[in-house]
Amino acid sequence: MRERYEVIVVGAGHAGCEAALAAARMGCSTLLLNLYIDNMALMACNPSIGGPAKGHLVREIDALGGEQARATDASTLHIRVLNTSKGPAVQTLRAQCDMRAYHAAYLNAVETTENLDLFQDIVTDLLVSEGRARGVKTRLGLVFESDTVILATGTYLGGRVHVGLVNFQSGPLGQMPASELTESLRQAGFEVGRLKTGTTPRIHAASVDWKSLVAQESSPEPLAFSHWDKGRVYTGHACYQTRTTVRTHEIIRGALDRSPLFTGVIEGVGPRYCPSIEDRVVRFPDRDSHIVFLEPVGGQTAEIYMQNFSTSLPFDVQVEMVRSLPGCENARFLRPGYAIEYDFMPPTQLSPWLETRLVRGLFCAGQINGTSGYEEAAAQGLLAGINAARILRGEEPVVLGRAEAYMGVLVDDLVTKGTEEPYRMFTSRCEHRLILRHDNADRRLAPLGRELGLIDDGRWRALEARWKATDEERDRLGRLRVFPTPENNARLERAGTVPLEVPVPAEELLRRPEVGWKLLQELLEEPSALMEEEAVSLTTEIKYAGYIEREYRVVERLLRTEKVRIPEDFDYGLVTGLSAESRAKLSRVRPMTLGQAGRISGVTPADVQILWVAVKTFHAKQSPVG
């Protein structure tokens, strides 16, 4: 093995794998260090990928040339389109995965990628000199040198597991923790905080009364996450729905005096939007039932994951709780639920390209930045790997805007607002979600992925052919006319829309709310040859054309503030009129642009106006006329 690499990645979870693969594929000699190779890309919590906003992230990762969508397609057991009753902006996929096959897909990608070495060891020290990363030292005493290090430590950093009032040092699912690196980060001057997350009991499939439960089958339509994978229909691995009962809630309330969460044993802040079942019962005392999904974790295992039933109550209480659920009266445990506390670095210490401000060449990605979720981690890892490679080449880093990608919203939220609890991506966090849809991720981001060298010739040609076919079809629909024949008008009336009196362009007819793609094809003399996915995307673009155009105009106005750059060494203390709170927060976050400054919590529109004048004055003094 080499002693020196261009990029070193610490941790081979979802963030670390994406970071290492991106850097290596962009031509950098890369070392991926993991404390245990067999837990690479471990699905330590729910064995699923996607869902609202998270599915959008996966599609964007794929469009940029990342790996997560392909690993998901290689391990899917069950897949569905979510939010079909809502608008296209929030519709996306969620796949239940075989956690071992998912790990194997990532492992194969890492092991077969040029420029990428994989090694099992625990990093104990970050080497820093003169404000720059210089490499890492491991538990075996090995020193690997590099001017670029990416930390993707997940929940292993200072990990401590809680089951009732029993707690011990551990990584997720009984893995070993990384207990020494935190002190090295503190010595380098970083602020380190404490968060917590948790997972659910795992039970044996043979001990569940499946006949008494409501089945949720996989989609009957062929689906895939990756833009380049062919959709498939999956059978044989349904998810099932049960519910907590009044008895469940009585058991939980009676055991709160033994809960590490409610007795103060756990210090870390947990995820507000994915609380434990005991937290839900306490926060919503009027509700006598909560949905629980029983989901497979693999095609060759009897282990069942209990979605929405995360807990850190004592094991004997967990047994009582689980057996109070319909269908689980005789459940046998394979693993107890637990909470895990871990160290993280508040992300306001990062630049918008995920490099730390304090130590040059040091990047952070994933749960070390305070996020929660495989998808959020993978997105950050991909961007950190891309930017590590670009900075090594002397190129400008990639910073995606909030109107360009969910990934841009994710990173901007982290570095601008920070987080005091595990951050989870939601569609509601994205103010431009109509133009950042699941179906158009390739159009938005694949050209950048191609420019970065992450999309090869074959995949690029496939995209170009798909885009060409879609564009030609839109032109064709603008030219074609649908005629008011008796058959056509009968179909329109059955669909609940008014019949035609004169021929109308097919594109205009498709704008009607009652007319979908399938009905339009029945009305045309020459039906379209577009594939289902392209047809869905084209339909959305046509139906919502007015709203989309209006959204782009809004974005164009907002971009003006993003173009006003704030010097890195700008002295906010000299700006008169700013509130004390704004001055303190601006000095801590050090926004790169006026737009970013306006998104900092506590910075008012009036403060932004004052700052705008001050920055313009500063630039005028730096570049005097004549």
For residue 439, pLDDT over 50 is answered with yes
Residue 626's pLDDT is 45
In the listed set 551, 571, 603, which residue is the last one of a domain according to the structure?
A: 551
CATH at 526: 1.10.10.1800
Express each pLDDT in 326-357 by its tens digit: 999 999 999 999 999 999 999 999 999 999 99
Does residue 269 belong to any structural domain of this protein?
Answer: yes
Are residue 304 and residue 233 in the same domain, yes or no?
yes
Express each pLDDT in 142-165 by its tens digit: 999 999 999 999 999 999 999 999
Are 382 and 20 in contact by the 8 Å Cβ rule? The answer is no
Provide the token pair at 435: 């133009």
Q: Which has more confidence, 141 or 621?
A: 141
Average pLDDT of the chain is 94
Are residue 316 and residue 277 in the same domain, yes or no?
yes
For residue 624, pLDDT over 70 is answered with no
Return d(Cα 199, Cα 190) in angstroms, integer. Answer: 29
Per the structure, the count of domains in the chain is: 3
Does residue 582 belong to any structural domain of this protein?
Answer: yes
Does residue 21 belong to any structural domain of this protein?
Answer: no
Residue 623's pLDDT is 67
Are residue 543 and residue 579 in the same domain, yes or no?
no
- Mean pLDDT lowest among 132-136, 327-331, 431-435: 431-435
In the listed set 306, 337, 368, which residue is the last one of a domain according to the structure?
A: 337
Q: The pTM is what?
A: 0.94
Are 265 and 160 in contact by the 8 Å Cβ rule? The answer is no
Residue 275's pLDDT is 86
Report the percentage of the chain scoring pLDDT > 90.
85
For residue 466, pLDDT over 80 is answered with yes
Are residue 609 and residue 511 in the same domain, yes or no?
no
Q: Provide the total of helices (H) and of strands (E) in the chain, helices listed first.
A: 20, 23
For residue 625, pLDDT over 70 is answered with no
Are residue 261 and residue 317 in the same domain, yes or no?
yes
Q: Domain range holding 497?
A: 457-551
In the listed set 530, 551, 572, which residue is the last one of a domain according to the structure?
A: 551
Longest dimension (CA), the chain: 85
Q: Is 402 exposed, middle or buried (0-12, 13-18, 19+ CB in 10 A)?
A: buried
Provide the token pair at 11: 């941790």
Report the percentage of the chain scoring pLDDT > 70.
99
Are residue 611 and residue 530 in the same domain, yes or no?
no
Are residue 226 and residue 318 in the same domain, yes or no?
yes
**Which DSSP string corresponds to 76-105?**
EEEEEEE-TTS-GGG-EEEEEE-HHHHHHH
Express each pLDDT in 44-66 by its tens digit: 989 999 999 999 999 999 999 99
Does residue 382 belong to any structural domain of this protein?
Answer: no
Q: Strand pairing of 303-307 and 116-120? A: unpaired
Does residue 25 belong to any structural domain of this protein?
Answer: no
Non-local (6+) Cβ contacts of 255 within 8 A are 278, 313, 314, 317
Does residue 154 belong to any structural domain of this protein?
Answer: no
Express each pLDDT in 389-419 by its tens digit: 999 999 999 999 999 999 999 999 999 999 9
Express each pLDDT in 480-510 by its tens digit: 999 999 999 999 999 999 999 999 999 999 9
Return d(Cα 140, Cα 143) in angstroms, integer. Answer: 9
